[in-house]
Structure 1
């Protein structure tokens, strides 16, 4: 019988409450102050904390500990060290020093660094992130203590995704505190961004996935003819969860509860074989750590149940891909959620200023938001029917859009009431109606008390998007505070000064607000030609944004990334994009030569023999199928040859040129090879086809 979730909750986490019981009072108070007030850690107390942490971990069965960190690869990295030491007399003891807790030293030379470190410069450090709790993970053979850390070079530069996130949150808190005090608040607690990231994923039977070299190596199908039934009947979305998947999901939930990850939603997604889970909102830094754990748990637990979990943004052609919708807000302990409009948003100056700052930030730096979700995998998804377009706009909903339009016109008088949902059926309950509908075509939509960034890819770390959101908000809050402070110094009333700032925001940045159909051709034209918004359709178009001067100044002035750190990220992500395209192209060539073409040849051989045999007894069999397969195979192999030649091209003067070559030359040629191969699949005898087909993989039995 399953244990109740409340009994499982945080059993494997060294929580704040547990630390209180394990540590001397003065040590705990110091640690509490560091965590809650973001003050400097007193390193002299580290030996006491380390001993308590070790004793707790050993009581849970741990024999090793690991500094866990998040390099520029979207994956999780960890270095394991043992607690066991041997005394001079040969006896064994367990040991975990304060230094070992605070500092680790993994080799930094082999991680993606974008040119910050030379290959021969190997030293790197991990440093304990006290704001994210330690935890233990259990495998069949043992237990390991995991300690969240940042990862930095010997020269002090961030080599990871956590350090910029911590910096961006600190910068945003400082700017938000300044603005809140201008609004008259004397007591302002530390402001934190929060995140709740919905995770979409596919499940495929493991034994079928193992027969697909493309899935094993790239996470997606490079070939595959769509099944006759896809998602056109809309019967999978929110349908009954298959029993095998339900059992798997319940196992996943138990592991998450033990690690303090509160799962609030689970359901079938739109495409067959696709599912979604959504954790509860929490502080962005912890949420980012938890997101990495969620991806790890999904993959490892799926394998135990005979599945392979696919987190690629577009594992199957012709049906929806997977995203990771990042629900983002900012709040603190004294003023609450700063993006909560309340019942009368037109009178809520605090909300209007923070929401206005977001509008300004997204308009001014929307291309940055596009850049931080730019990956080879996400290029397949953005702009398709299940994902927002590559044009970054803001959806506010009818109520808020009306309020901000009133501000622009110079007179704010009302907020449209939310209303009540009522029915003609007396037994059904009435309930409050939301003041605005949802817009699933918007990449950045207000959803009640937060913004939902829907362009994030399912395989991505949420840290990059959160860093960008926190940083652009910091810049806008600083701009708003500067304007407000100047007006207040002139003796202008607070209300008048606030609405003046908001009108200026709407005049300068209102073009980014859009509540219509983001998929329509009309919007694509209006957005670019009339509103000046960018449509960066590929990673090759989007990533160079990180090199632009104002983006560099944004990160430098806020203290989130230095010029060299930002440059390193451009080069690291650009190299990853190029390597992904090259790897996929190489695999397309290999599979076409060694699997698709031989299958077509065997089919032709059998069909030809049958035609000849029947002809000898006077039966004429139609040759159209054989001719079509032969023609498609020849065309495919001609394209494969051209792709091979193109793949060997090395004459690029810049990395930007190389990316554009991948996007404009290699990718279209790969798509053409696939088109021929998928057409061949529709002609070749089923028993001769060497790959599991979509109809076999997508419909879980």
Structure 2
């Protein structure tokens, strides 16, 4: 029997949201808090005290006994330290208290998280500080207890950001300041704030938990390090948007219910291209809240999967030979009066404000492409980008026929006088109504595509926090809007100045526009002719963070300092090295303890068969050929194993982070491929009953 869910009743029921605050806070306190949330400013301590008490009472009614400052360190996942609401009384009992000071500030250990040198081991003090722009919520732990989670930033004793949220919030403010200058130059005096919004689509795999538990590589590395292709993959395209299996549908129903309670607007769900792959997409929210929600989505996906005896895999490439998973970051910006600044309108050629902002984005993406590429870099994404399933590692922009035509008019004629329209689409079936089609097609091969009233940044990896790409997007666009605002504010005719600047920037940055097939080799060659960077891996991508232009950019807009950028670069090198080290040592472990013993056991059986067949005078050529093939691959695998052990030990001994990351990329990672090739060949030669762990067929078609 299908469980019925009253979505309207449960939605946001576990969130201390605006409606709850309005109900539980005195009007004056509510108004002051809303003012801080809406336009910024320091929150008075008396307001925090009242809010803390109301938040505590609400959480206790929800069953909470503890609270936590929920933050996002440089690990890319969330962190929390639980404190009980209890305070001792003189008579030996306890009372339940939660002060404004406890709401505003926490103190986790600042040295035990990745800091890239910002904090030494002996420098343990770090602070969490309440982010009142993102609502608190109650969350059930795996043990069944309920905790009040308070979204916070995380900074060092000396004030540097130790997390991903602090730079994101700074970048949102930076973009708001510069975008407001633009809209005011065009005569909008009502807008007080410009907010970026994001709708991140999340891809993931589901595998059976019992099968997963038999794969050491999935447990330790999150992806399969060995595995021959299954007889069937995604070649029939029958999984994409196909009928959702009952077990998966049940999982999705529970996932939706959990997310809706947390105020996450989970809307779209479907099967993705690869077997066992799926996608969830929420409705847009402010970038800050959308980032928090995406972290909750990933955590909840994994938690709910276990209830169904499933495991959710978020790695960018858990299986070789079929599509991996990404995260499509749909980004836009709007004024607090409800105007979407990326909406071209019906006649975009007449929308001068939109065209100026569009040209500023072209300039930003072109000039700061390495930073945008770096924001989507992680070890897993190196497997995915450019693999005929995701955008290439080359940054380009897709605008579509309508906008490309408008920009061409501006470049060629100096003025745009018309805009293409979509017209009606008649499919030729009398019972199907005709309808208005869009003015332009979509391009799934583009890394940065305009899709009507937003840009879709498709390079982000499925495990990644969306804080990094949005921090970069906000900052680079803030910079080019700053340059535009300087020109407009210095002109006696801002509208004409905007027109001239739009033409100039389009002409200078037209090379970044590409509407063709981003998967093709021809585009790689064309991009090189255009001078567009092709940064193929994470180690190379990290270099731009400490380039002078990047430091100048982030410091000008007070998003990150040189020290904070250097720390993130070092954390990136360390993260890459550690990830590859874990994978390499897992391969070594699996090869020594599982594959080689299984192959030797099977080889003995085949050798005995050869002897037995020969003993009766029969033809043993098939058995002999099989034995020779197995032995040849076993020898090759053992040689690669020894090489991998030596390369891994050598790389691990290097102390300088960048040099170590390079060694893991150039020596360890390449040797891992050498080990995998004979191992996967042996999987196809050894009896399935002897092979030591589940195959791709077992993993992908057993849910």
Band of TM-score, shorter chain: over 0.9
Tell me the residue number matched to 1:247: 250
1:405 is aligned to 2:408: yes
Q: Which range moved further: 648-657 or 248-257?
A: 648-657
Are 1:611 and 1:620, in contact at CA under 8 Å, matched by a contact in 2?
no
- Please give the residue correspondences for 1:2-21 in structure 2 after superposition, counting only pairs within 5 Å: 2-21=4-23
Tell me the residue number matched to 1:141: 144
Tell me the residue number matched to 2:504: 504
Tell me the residue number matched to 2:434: 430
C-alpha deviations, 1:639-668, integer Å up to 9, x for none?
110111111225758533322222222111
Report SS of the residue matched to 1:308: strand
- Please give the residue correspondences for 1:35-54 in structure 2 after superposition, counting only pairs within 5 Å: 35-54=37-56
1:236 is aligned to 2:236: no
Are 1:221 and 1:315, in contact at CA under 8 Å, matched by a contact in 2?
yes
1:199 is aligned to 2:210: no
1:111 is aligned to 2:113: yes
Between the aligned partners of 1:695 and 1:347, the Cα distance in structure 2 is 56
- Please give the residue correspondences for 1:112-261 in structure 2 after superposition, counting only pairs within 5 Å: 112-139=114-141, 141-261=144-264
Task: After TM superposition, give the deviation of residue 554 of structure 1 in Å.
Answer: 0.7
Between the aligned partners of 1:320 and 1:225, the Cα distance in structure 2 is 15
Tell me the residue number matched to 1:670: 672
- Please give the residue correspondences for 1:443-592 in structure 2 after superposition, counting only pairs within 5 Å: 443-486=447-490, 488=491, 491=492, 493-528=493-528, 530-592=529-591
Structure 2 gaps of 5+ residues are none
Between the aligned partners of 1:685 and 1:615, the Cα distance in structure 2 is 21
Q: Structure 1 680/166 Cα, relative in aligned 2: closer, same or farther at 3 Å? A: same
Report SS of the residue matched to 2:323: coil
C-alpha deviations, 1:326-369, integer Å up to 9, x for none?
00000122251110011001111121111111111100001101
Q: TM-score by structure 1 length?
A: 0.98
C-alpha deviations, 1:559-600, integer Å up to 9, x for none?
100110111100011100011111111111111111111111
Between the aligned partners of 2:439 and 2:267, the Cα distance in structure 1 is 23
Between the aligned partners of 2:345 and 2:610, the Cα distance in structure 1 is 76
Between the aligned partners of 1:167 and 1:653, the Cα distance in structure 2 is 33
Task: After TM superposition, give the deviation of residue 523 of structure 1 in Å.
Answer: 1.1
Are 1:484 and 1:501, in contact at CA under 8 Å, matched by a contact in 2?
no
Are 2:204 and 2:279, in contact at CA under 8 Å, matched by a contact in 1?
yes
Tell me the residue number matched to 1:306: 309
- Please give the residue correspondences for 1:242-281 in structure 2 after superposition, counting only pairs within 5 Å: 242-281=245-284
Between the aligned partners of 1:233 and 1:17, the Cα distance in structure 2 is 48
1:383 is aligned to 2:405: no
Aligned pair count reads 696
Report SS of the residue matched to 2:650: coil
- Please give the residue correspondences for 1:607-622 in structure 2 after superposition, counting only pairs within 5 Å: 607-621=606-620, 622=622
Tell me the residue number matched to 1:366: 369
Are 1:267 and 1:277, in contact at CA under 8 Å, matched by a contact in 2?
yes
Between the aligned partners of 2:611 and 2:274, the Cα distance in structure 1 is 44
Between the aligned partners of 2:575 and 2:452, the Cα distance in structure 1 is 37
Between the aligned partners of 2:40 and 2:423, the Cα distance in structure 1 is 42
C-alpha deviations, 1:215-272, integer Å up to 9, x for none?
0001000000010100000000000001000000000000011010011100000000
Q: Which range moved further: 221-230 or 352-361?
A: 352-361
Are 2:241 and 2:272, in contact at CA under 8 Å, matched by a contact in 1?
yes
How large is the Cα RMSD of the aligned pairs? Answer: 1.2
Report SS of the residue matched to 1:359: helix
C-alpha deviations, 1:111-152, integer Å up to 9, x for none?
000000111100000000000000101246321110000000
C-alpha deviations, 1:56-87, integer Å up to 9, x for none?
11111111001100000111100100011220
Task: After TM superposition, give the deviation of residue 297 of structure 1 in Å.
Answer: 0.2
Between the aligned partners of 1:690 and 1:238, the Cα distance in structure 2 is 34
Report SS of the residue matched to 1:392: coil
Tell me the residue number matched to 2:604: 605
Tell me the residue number matched to 2:73: 71
